[in-house]
Amino acid sequence: MNCKAKSFPLLVLFGLSLFSCKKDTPSPKASNILLIVADDLGYADMGSFGGDIETPNLDELARQGIRFSRFHTAPFCAVTRAMLLSGNFSHVAGMGSQGLVTGVPGYEGRLSDRIIPVPELLRNAGYHTYIAGKWHLGGMEGANPADKGFEKSFVIQEEGGANHYSEKGIFPEFPVTLYTENGAQVKWPDGAYSTDFYTDKLIEYIQSNPKDGKPFFAFAAYTSPHWPLQVDSTYWKKYEGRYDKGYEVLREQRLVSLKKAGMISPNAQLPPLHPRVKPWDSLSPEEQKKEARKMELYAGMVDNLDYNIGRLIAFLKETGQYENTLIVFMSDNGAAAEDFFYHEYYGPFLQENYSDALEDMGKENSFVSYGPQWAEAGSAPFLYFKGYTTEGGMNAPMIIAGKEVEGKGSINSSFLTVMDLAPTFYELAEVSYPESWQGKARKPLAGSSILPLLTGKQDLVHDSTYVFGLEHRGNAMLRKGKWKLLNTTTPLEVKNFGLYNIETDLSEQQNLKDLYPEKFQELLLEWEKFSKQVGIVTPTPKAGEGLNNQNIKP
């Protein structure tokens, strides 16, 4: 059957599955969609969110759109990307555990055939679909962006991170980083810097079909500011000396500035630092200098990222496409705390191929990360950081702007998840989500369109009965209304869950399971249902399968 899909905004809003119709030609005024994802950007980094890093282009985007203060991703890169491009829970989408590749449903290490990838459905509906940057959703046959609906693509084939200047690998399993363009292996261009090049490539793709009347879905999947911290001195020198007082002071400063920006409650408090963080005063002067340089480099990478986002927006304006483009900017998880240079597994390879000397920091031959100490400042005021199912690992920044957006310059504190973006794109494109695809039944969307919220027609997307859960290598959470189950202890056992009221305890410090036993039991029952619904297990890799250790929390 081949017919135009109709718009069902109310049904799409509640994530229901509809009969499949192919829409060959989008409506004349169909909106373009520009999805920009920063890699490991902290909640408290951008200027409009209360950060001290110079982000004028993102700040202007915030003035033209809405900042979302309670937007939730997954705690790891690949898991978020699977949920983002499916509109479904991570296990349903095939990425129940980042890096784990098995034959067990939920742990395939690639986008599963239980979902329909966003680019595939949009392309079928008449959209051009482009991606440049990080894929991280499987390097095996059939898992490339070219196999998942992207018309044009230039991506890191499999790894979760890369040298920002060359093909020089950063993981023992991949001594040379592999890239593909439109599914075919290609070389990294000499002298190119990742964020600059991905911006060039995406502009090139959008320009390749300028007058055919079709809208585009363009995914700027940047690898910045993901480690290794590398950027030209033009960008980091302006921050020299800014962080000499240390990460504890920066964390305190950001608590104040976040409150001033309206991103957190005036009553918010900082939780205790992670046990891995060494007090700044315990470091030697030499160690402090290196630590400050790490943050200077990180700030420089964010500065460069903002510059390139400005280039994308300027291009859209120059070509007359800006007014008809919905722009979504987000980070893929909380601030990153991995620091692998002296790690038992990664360290030997990195030390053999890279330097962490002060004089080399920021260059192509340098490998440094800003670690848990600076990540605590990046995730302020939340508990912990990337890798954890705490708010610090999952509450990420998001800005949305476009002609559909009312309330420009406002802050929205509604509880949202990354799964809500796919239904939003479908409603915007007037595309229905089918019950079956290519002869196979597909799971219904788990997210809900936020378009009615953007247009001011609704105040909330999810009511107090909505259940959102996630498990990743034993770290687990489940949210229902203002209540949250949380476990950060492995192996995962029900007795280790705590109960928190996120409305009054943003830093997750008051375990209320003994004070509210009935509510605790209610959420435990929801957890049991959720676990069965999505298929949470602990698979053991079979022969020929394995665990790719990249990005695993030490």
- DSSP result, 94-124: T-SSTTEE-SSTT--SS--TTS--HHHHHHH
Residues pairing with 441 in the sheet = 436
Spell out the residues 6+ positions from residue 517 whose beta carbon is closer than 8 angstroms to its own. none
411 vs 261: CA distance, rounded Å: 10
DSSP character at residue 209: S
Q: What was the pLDDT predicted at 465? A: 96
Helix orientation angle between 371-378 and 285-318, rounded to the nearest 10 degrees: 50
Over range 271-300, report the average pLDDT: 97
Q: What was the pLDDT predicted at 133? A: 98
Checking if the pLDDT of 472 tops 90, the result is yes
What is the band of 431 on the pLDDT scale with cuts at 50, 70, 90? very high
Residues pairing with 33 in the sheet = 217, 326
DSSP character at residue 499: E
Q: What was the pLDDT predicted at 145? A: 98
Which tens digit of pLDDT belongs to each residue from 75-113? 999 999 999 999 999 999 999 999 889 999 999 999 999
Checking if the pLDDT of 382 tops 70, the result is yes
DSSP character at residue 420: G
DSSP element (H, E) containing 306: helix 285-318
Buried b / exposed e along 37-53 (16+ C-beta atoms within 10 A): bbbbbbbbbbbbbbbbb
Pairing of strands 100-101, 410-412: unpaired
What is the band of 552 on the pLDDT scale with cuts at 50, 70, 90? very low
Checking if the pLDDT of 15 tops 90, the result is no
Q: What was the pLDDT predicted at 521? A: 97
Dig out the tokens for 42 from the structure: 């902290």
Q: What was the pLDDT predicted at 27? A: 57
- DSSP result, 386-446: TTSSSHHHHEEEEEEESTT--STTEEE---EEGGGHHHHHHHHHT-PPBSEETTEE-PPPS
Peptide bond into 228 cis (omega under 30): yes
Q: What was the pLDDT predicted at 25? A: 56
Q: What was the pLDDT predicted at 490? A: 82
Q: What was the pLDDT predicted at 209? A: 86
Residues pairing with 396 in the sheet = 71
Find the range with the poorest average confidence among 386-390, 457-461, 488-492.
Answer: 488-492
Pairing of strands 416-417, 100-101: unpaired
Q: What was the pLDDT predicted at 345? A: 94
What is the band of 157 on the pLDDT scale with cuts at 50, 70, 90? confident
529 vs 329: CA distance, rounded Å: 33
- In whole angstroms, how large is the CA radius of gyration of the chain? 22
DSSP element (H, E) containing 62: helix 56-63
- Vertex 395 angle, CA 157 and 53, to 5°: 80
Pairing of strands 100-101, 546-547: antiparallel
Over range 267-284, report the average pLDDT: 96
Residue-range domains of the chain with CATH? 29-464 (3.40.720.10)
Over range 203-216, report the average pLDDT: 92
What is the band of 551 on the pLDDT scale with cuts at 50, 70, 90? very low
% of the chain surpassing 70 pLDDT: 92
How much is the mean pLDDT over the chain?
Answer: 92
Burial (0-12, 13-18, 19+ Cβ within 10 Å), 284: exposed
Which tens digit of pLDDT belongs to each residue from 217-234? 999 999 999 999 999 999
Which tens digit of pLDDT belongs to each residue from 307-343? 999 999 999 999 999 999 999 999 999 999 999 999 9
Nearest Cα to Cα of residue 49 among 35, 63, 39, 31: 63
Checking if the pLDDT of 549 tops 50, the result is no
Which tens digit of pLDDT belongs to each residue from 48-78? 999 999 999 999 999 999 999 999 999 999 9
The count of residues in the chain is: 554
219 vs 194: CA distance, rounded Å: 15
Dig out the tokens for 373 from the structure: 């100490």
Count of C-beta atoms within a 10 Å radius of residue 400: 26
Residues pairing with 329 in the sheet = 36, 399
Catalytic residues: 77, 136
Q: What was the pLDDT predicted at 28? A: 54
Over range 486-511, report the average pLDDT: 94
Q: What was the pLDDT predicted at 540? A: 55
Count of C-beta atoms within a 10 Å radius of residue 462: 19
Q: Which residue has the higher pLDDT, 27 or 280?
A: 280
Spell out the residues 6+ positions from residue 477 whose beta carbon is closer than 8 angstroms to its own. 389, 390, 394, 469, 470, 484, 485, 486, 487
> Which residue is associated with the tokens 């020198």?
237
Checking if the pLDDT of 443 tops 60, the result is yes
63 vs 408: CA distance, rounded Å: 6
Checking if the pLDDT of 9 tops 90, the result is no
Checking if the pLDDT of 354 tops 60, the result is yes
Checking if the pLDDT of 268 tops 80, the result is yes
